[in-house]
Structure 1
Amino acid sequence: MNEYIVELADVHRHVSRESSDAGELVRVTLRRPFAAETHDLWHAVTDPDLISRWFMPISGDFREGGHFDLQGNAGGDIEQCDPPRTFRVTFGDASSVVTVTMHELAGDRTELVLDHTVPVTVAGSTAGALYVGPGWDGALVGLARFIDGRAEGDPVQAINSPKMIQFSRQSVALWADAAAMGGASAQEVETARQVALAQFAPDPALGN
């Protein structure tokens, strides 16, 4: 059994289009409960030393108004930081915005809600969720395993392991369903699905 794939069921995924002052947006939302008190989960997702243990190395000025860079990935500006409840950052581009919010649950658990919005002109349609959703799925499973004390080795290297490639392929399938539910056409979904497989599960032996 692939223990990573099992954890995909712990995430609720939603994709929608909405209007804003900046124009029409595509919103990608992930909700997942964690076995951690809110302040502990907040520490795990905002402390650069801890982030490197479940996600990837990060550097920058970690305060509201500061800038961060993820090694080999996107950087951005920290637009809002209200510990231990919510933060908002740009991600790769000023029009790409990620907001993380935490809600206390019973039994010393916390629900993390991640919203990623991009303009429709960039995403194309709700199928654009496939370009970011599987990556966030991978990040959240890494965070959950870190919180539970199950993290193993370098998380960056783990992304290319056979189990994580299988995980990513299943994640792509789930995001394809969510994009279709959000209004994307079958052709839009299939085109984005092929791109996402090449991006998140680039194993020729598995076939994209």
Structure 2
Amino acid sequence: MTIADEINKVIRTIRTSGESHQVVLDRTFDTDIADLWDACTSPERLARWFEPTLGDLAPGGRYTLTRSSTQGDILTCEPPRHLAITWEYQGDVSHVDVELLAATNQRTALRLTHHCPPGDHWDTYGPTAAGVGWEESLRALGLHLAGDARSAPDEMDSVASTPEGRELTRRAAEAWGRADEAAGTPANEAEARALRTAAFHLST
């Protein structure tokens, strides 16, 4: 699989609704909707590609991601199609929606929408910060569904530090910069926000 193939697997869209900026990722996976839902909601499977997860994964419950200390509320859980949560990280609160739609030939479309509030973080990094981060997570999910052990969080961190991984981060940031511009951000500002995000990821 080439870097271009990975970049082209994701459709990137930015929308604005009221004061919320919506960072939208669409990607189709080679599995049925029940399996994809299980991979996105089972604590045992989440630990294999995303993060170890604790809590009550039911409407009204709370969850904690133990690796990043992200936590939040379960707002909606409608198997196997819709999960909505709050995303509470370092004092900021946003919302994430995951929607699944069965496609043809045992394939399933996933749409992830991160509702980002306005503020200094958005002004500095725009949609690229959320976009690049979620894109890496969806890449790990794809590996997990294919039975590839490189989906494990520590393995993904190692891959990200290789020349190929660093190039993939740069290319993903550039793609989000183009989506930012397509959503109406001036070209120089969209490029600057994408470059800041890439620099942040490549420095860690």
**Normalised-by-shorter TM-score class:** 0.7 to 0.9
Matched, 1:80 2:76: yes
Q: Report which stretch shifted further, 44-53 or 161-170.
A: 161-170
* 1:147-187 per-position Cα deviation (integer Å, ceiling 9, x unaligned): 12223263234224313322211111110110111111234
Counterparts of 1:9-158 in structure 2, within 5 Å, are 9-19=8-18, 24-73=19-68, 74-92=70-88, 95-121=93-119, 124=122, 128-152=126-150, 154-158=152-156
Q: Report which stretch shifted further, 151-160 or 40-49.
A: 151-160
Q: Report which stretch shifted further, 161-170 or 84-93.
A: 161-170
Identical residues among aligned pairs (%): 29
In structure 2, C-alpha distance between the alignment counterparts of 1:88 and 1:159, rounded to whole Å? 27
Structure 1: 5+ residue stretches without partners: 204-208
In structure 2, C-alpha distance between the alignment counterparts of 1:60 and 1:176, rounded to whole Å? 35
Structure 2: 5+ residue stretches without partners: none
Q: Report which stretch shifted further, 7-16 or 36-45.
A: 7-16
In structure 1, C-alpha distance between the alignment counterparts of 2:149 and 2:5, rounded to whole Å? 16
> After TM superposition, what 4+ stretches of structure 1 lie above 6 angstroms from structure 2?
none
Please state how far the C-alpha of 1:144 moved relative to its aligned partner.
0.8
Q: TM-score, normalised by structure 1?
A: 0.86
- Number of aligned residue pairs: 198
CA contact (8 A) 1:26 1:123 kept: no
- SS of alignment partner, residue 108 of structure 1: coil
Please give the root-mean-square deviation of Cα atoms over the aligned residues, in Å. Answer: 2.2
CA contact (8 A) 1:14 1:29 kept: yes
Residues 5/65 of structure 1: CA separation in 2 closer, same or farther (3 Å cut): farther
In structure 1, C-alpha distance between the alignment counterparts of 2:52 and 2:171, rounded to whole Å? 26
**Partner amino acid, structure 2, of 1:100:** V
Please state how far the C-alpha of 1:65 moved relative to its aligned partner.
1.1
Name the residue aligned to 1:206.
Answer: none
* 1:129-160 per-position Cα deviation (integer Å, ceiling 9, x unaligned): 11110011100111011112223263234224
Matched, 1:183 2:184: yes
CA contact (8 A) 2:141 2:151 kept: no
Residues 187/158 of structure 1: CA separation in 2 closer, same or farther (3 Å cut): same
Name the residue aligned to 1:170.
Answer: 171
**Partner amino acid, structure 2, of 1:176:** G
In structure 1, C-alpha distance between the alignment counterparts of 2:106 and 2:124, rounded to whole Å? 35
In structure 1, C-alpha distance between the alignment counterparts of 2:106 and 2:125, rounded to whole Å? 36
